[in-house]
Amino acid sequence: MREHTILRVITKILIAPIIIFALYVQFHGDYSPGGGFQAGVIFAAAIILYALIFGLAEARRAVPPGLLRVTGALGVLTYAGTGVACLLNGGNFLDYDYLAHNAIHGQHYGLLLVEFGVGMTVVSVITSIFYVFAGRGRRGDGA
């Protein structure tokens, strides 16, 4: 892809707006269901675009597989930890009313944390799956 200068320049221009849009969807997820999943897919699409244009090895250097494993696990722990915090405060699993002194604030904090956990997990899993399939059949790629 080194000879495709236009694609490389356009990709460099597009990556930042794609990530900003993913963050917008993530933080707008408080007001609509599915924000974390959608944001994770959009963010992963930015990483996949980078890998398609600049190469898989370069993408793995920018976003290492080890980091993806950690963020995937942290996402699941954030989701589950929010539910456990609700349980410890006297409510049911993911009953956000018990996360704050006021039920409205608890709902807001709970949705924010759960959507953030879902977003981290989705971007990690989708990017990891792409790395595995894109690196299939290559030797010495450092996977």
- Please write the tens of the pLDDT for every residue from 60-78: 999 999 999 999 999 999 9
Show the tokens assigned to 58.
């370069």
Which pTM does this prediction carry? 0.87
Q: Tens digit of pLDDT for each residue in 100-123?
A: 999 888 888 998 999 999 999 999
Neighbours of 89 (CB within 10 A): 13
Query: Which residue from 98, 129, 93, 119 is spatially nearest to 38, judged by alpha carbons?
Result: 119
Indicate whether 141 pLDDT > 80. no
Q: Tens digit of pLDDT for each residue in 25-55?
A: 998 866 666 789 999 999 999 999 999 999 9
Q: What is the pLDDT of residue 2?
A: 63
- What gap in Å lies between CA 19 and CA 12, rounded to an integer? 12
Where are the domains positioned within the chain? 5-134
The DSSP annotation for 43-97 comes to HHHHHHHHHHHH-HHHHHHHS-HHHHHHHHHHHHHHHHHHHHHHHHTTS-TT-GG
